[in-house]
């Protein structure tokens, strides 16, 4: 049987030390050994029973419950003040076969895989690679769990692909401790699995686009995500170029994404007529404190997989002295004016090496990111057409009201179908500033104040925006949700949640984060009718 270890704790923190946050109980569940229970479906369902037991135990104690994996989110979205569940040891995978497919599916069975919630992206990639497959995209690194990625909208910079949730085609949720509380959800318009298979892992099968799209970026509040079915694709290579190009040209490309007609070309990446190829990935690095006329840009082009490509890994990877980062933080707090100078000194560490080319598979290019100390990241999504305008505003904010110990980058992501995806624009430019955490002093504003100013500046300049769910912001900003999303989308998400979860579970699977942004209020429970059709 799957077993759970219970830890009585007083606090919990994220990987990047964005807390600590108060906590009463931490559950850690481990699966039954495969020697004792060789069948993967049996072990998967055995874990379902264990999670249902924990949900019942928590409900009986009238407490909240929230699952988390790698704790990579930089705010309290993964936090629950009562009981939290670490699911990182729950990492079964099951490749799908033709017999598992829905009669009306358009998916190729060889591309579909069921992954249990706690499987980290690196492991997902390793499993897929062993089948000659690849994820379509990942974040900039690989340590997040698959459930954590989709719950918060983790993305890379794949212009024509989307974010991690955009290749999820089925979700297995545990929404209570009773019979019928294990559901499998997929889109009605894009069914993937047949009832025979879905019944093996669930009590109920729901094929509904609206519900699926709402649950997809569910912010950890649609129940316990036990597993997801993803669509992979045949393995491919990415050729990565890092170039220094004129600022105006880099920003023109950001605003237009017109790589075909741009003056910027990589000779190896043009067609027979000399027209530029469309990259898979485009990223711009911006040191807002530098007056250099050029920006560093990173482009990746998709290539067919061949076995004999050059190993992209270095033999030695050096890490910056932690004490140096600590010194950077302390100097930023006491002498903020030194930040631009400090950023310049660290540019070799924080920017990729210019003119270095390499080729590798997706998981090789977006590899491990070792912990480097307390970090912050503020990330806003804007329509890519507003990329340069938004960057100009936020870079000026950082220079005029800061400086802030971090630098900007732009990444670009195709629109998501998920109801509350922050990648909601036709192509969203994710404008992010990453850096080291600092404490407010009389010389430098706090991170929350800085985050608040970001929202105010975008609002004042009428730039529609979203915020990355897993990063830092002033989440208590008045009417923030309505500023970011259309009323209809907010209502759809909330209605679907109410339809799926009974009132006890709505409360149990909420937390301070979703209450703060107004997606749930414990005092105004509107009980959905579980028998009502979800339309």
Partner 1 sequence: MKKISKIIVLIALSSLLASCYSIRLRSINGGPQPDPLMLRNDYYRGMEVIELDTVITIDITSKDFTYLIKESEKCKSGKLHSVEFKNTFGGSLLSLITFGRKRKMKVKYVCMKPTN
The contact set with partner 1 (CB under 8 A) reads 7, 9, 13, 15, 17, 26, 28, 31, 34, 40, 43, 70-71, 86, 88-89, 91-93, 116, 120, 122-123, 126, 143, 313, 319, 322, 367, 370-371, 373
Instruction: Give 34 or 357: the residue with its C-beta nearer to partner 1.
Output: 34
**Pair of tokens at residue 446:** 């706090």
Instruction: Give 88 or 276: the residue with its C-beta nearer to partner 1.
Output: 88
Question: What is the nearest approach in angstroms of partner 1 to the Cβ of residue 439?
Answer: 16
Give the separation between CA 169 and CA 151, rounded to whole angstroms: 14
Nearest residue to 227 (alpha-carbon basis) of 247, 196, 197, 188 = 197
- Name the pairing type of β-strands 427-436 and 93-95: unpaired
Instruction: Give 370 or 533: the residue with its C-beta nearer to partner 1.
Output: 370
Instruction: Give 319 or 441: the residue with its C-beta nearer to partner 1.
Output: 319
First CA to last CA distance, the chain = 38
Question: What is the nearest approach in angstroms of partner 1 to the Cβ of residue 211?
Answer: 29
Q: How many residues are recorded in the chain?
A: 535
Nearest residue to 301 (alpha-carbon basis) of 158, 129, 431 = 158
Instruction: Give 70 or 75: the residue with its C-beta nearer to partner 1.
Output: 70
Instruction: Give 134 or 423: the residue with its C-beta nearer to partner 1.
Output: 134
Give the separation between CA 370 and CA 382, rounded to whole angstroms: 29
Instruction: Give 91 or 511: the residue with its C-beta nearer to partner 1.
Output: 91
Give the separation between CA 226 and CA 412, rounded to whole angstroms: 29
Give the separation between CA 194 and CA 102, rounded to whole angstroms: 4
Question: What is the nearest approach in angstroms of partner 1 to the Cβ of residue 332?
Answer: 19
Question: What is the nearest approach in angstroms of partner 1 to the Cβ of residue 131?
Answer: 14
Alpha-helical segments (H) within 292-416: 322-334, 339-345, 347-350, 362-365, 387-401
Question: What is the nearest approach in angstroms of partner 1 to the Cβ of residue 371?
Answer: 4
Question: What is the nearest approach in angstroms of partner 1 to the Cβ of residue 86?
Answer: 4
Q: Residue 158 in 3-state DSSP? A: strand
Question: What is the nearest approach in angstroms of partner 1 to the Cβ of residue 88?
Answer: 5
Instruction: Give 271 or 313: the residue with its C-beta nearer to partner 1.
Output: 313
Instruction: Give 82 or 108: the residue with its C-beta nearer to partner 1.
Output: 82
**Helix (H) or strand (E) run with residue 514 in it:** helix 512-516
Question: What is the nearest approach in angstroms of partner 1 to the Cβ of residue 312?
Answer: 10
Nearest residue to 257 (alpha-carbon basis) of 395, 407, 387 = 387
**DSSP structure class, residue 278:** P
**Pair of tokens at residue 106:** 């358009």
Nearest residue to 450 (alpha-carbon basis) of 439, 460, 461 = 439
Report CA 147 to chain centroid distance, whole Å: 9
Torsion of CA 184, 187, 189, 190, to 10 degrees: -80
Question: What is the nearest approach in angstroms of partner 1 to the Cβ of residue 416?
Answer: 27
| Number of neighbours of residue 450 by Cβ within 10 angstroms | 24
Instruction: Give 341 or 371: the residue with its C-beta nearer to partner 1.
Output: 371
Instruction: Give 67 or 164: the residue with its C-beta nearer to partner 1.
Output: 67
Question: What is the nearest approach in angstroms of partner 1 to the Cβ of residue 502?
Answer: 29
Give the separation between CA 25 and CA 427, rounded to whole angstroms: 41
Alpha-helical segments (H) within 185-268: 195-201, 209-216, 247-256
Give the separation between CA 209 and CA 150, rounded to whole angstroms: 16
Question: What is the nearest approach in angstroms of partner 1 to the Cβ of residue 122?
Answer: 5
């Amino acid at each position: 049987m799957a077993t759970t270890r219970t830890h009585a704790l007083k606090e919990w923190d994220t990987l990047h030390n964005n807390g600590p946050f108060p906590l009463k109980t931490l559950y850690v569940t481990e699966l039954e050994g495969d020697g004792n229970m060789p069948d993967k479906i049996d072990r998967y369902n055995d874990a379902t029973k264990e999670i249902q037991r924990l949900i019942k135990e928590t409900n009986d104690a009238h407490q909240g419950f929230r699952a988390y994996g790698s704790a990579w989110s930089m705010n309290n979205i993964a936090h629950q003040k009562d009981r939290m569940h670490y699911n990182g040891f729950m990492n079964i995978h099951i490749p799908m076969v033709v017999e598992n497919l829905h009669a009306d599916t358009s998916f190729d069975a060889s591309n579909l895989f069921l992954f249990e919630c706690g499987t980290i992206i690196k492991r997902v990639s390793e499993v897929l690679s062993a089948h000659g497959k690849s994820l379509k995209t990942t974040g900039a690194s690989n340590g997040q769990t698959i459930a954590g990625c989709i719950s918060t909208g983790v993305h890379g910079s794949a212009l024509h692909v989307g974010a991690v949730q955009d290749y999820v085609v089925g979700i297995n949720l545990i929404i209570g401790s009773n019979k019928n509380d294990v559901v499998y959800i997929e889109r009605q318009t894009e069914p993937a699995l047949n009832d025979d298979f879905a019944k093996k892992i669930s009590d109920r099968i729901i094929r509904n686009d609206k519900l699926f799209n709402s649950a997809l970026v569910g912010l950890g509040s649609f129940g316990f995500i036990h597993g997801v079915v993803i669509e992979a694709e045949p393995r491919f290579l990415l050729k990565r170029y890092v170039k220094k190009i004129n600022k105006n040209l880099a920003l023109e490309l950001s605003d237009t994404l017109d790589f075909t007609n741009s003056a910027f070309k990589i000779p190896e990446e043009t067609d027979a007529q000399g027209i530029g190829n469309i990259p898979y990935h485009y990223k711009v690095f911006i040191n807002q404190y530098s007056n250099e006329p050029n920006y560093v840009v990173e482009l990746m082009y998709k290539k067919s997989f061949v076995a004999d490509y050059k190993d992209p890994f270095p033999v030695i990877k050096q890490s910056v002295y932690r004490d140096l980062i600590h010194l950077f933080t302390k100097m930023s707090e006491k002498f903020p004016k030194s930040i631009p100078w400090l950023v310049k000194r660290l540019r070799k560490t924080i920017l990729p090496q210019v003119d270095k080319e390499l080729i590798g598979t997706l998981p090789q290019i977006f590899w491990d990111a070792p912990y480097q100390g307390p970090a912050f990241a503020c990330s806003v999504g804007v329509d890519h057409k507003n990329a340069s305008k938004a960057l100009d505003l936020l870079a000026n904010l950082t220079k005029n009201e800061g400086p802030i110990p971090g630098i900007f980058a732009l990444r670009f992501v195709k629109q998501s179908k998920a109801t509350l995806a922050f990648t909601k624009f036709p192509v969203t430019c994710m404008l992010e500033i990453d850096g080291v955490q600092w404490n407010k002093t009389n010389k430098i504003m706090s991170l929350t104040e800085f985050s608040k100013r970001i929202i105010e500046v975008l609002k004042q300049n009428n730039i529609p925006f979203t915020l990355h769910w897993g990063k830092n912001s002033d989440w208590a900003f008045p009417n923030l949700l309505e500023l970011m999303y259309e009323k209809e989308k907010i209502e759809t998400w909330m209605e679907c949640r109410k339809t799926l979860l009974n009132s006890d579970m709505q409360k149990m699977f909420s937390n301070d984060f979703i209450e703060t942004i107004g997606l749930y209020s414990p005092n105004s429970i509107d009980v959905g009718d579980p028998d009502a059709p979800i339309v």
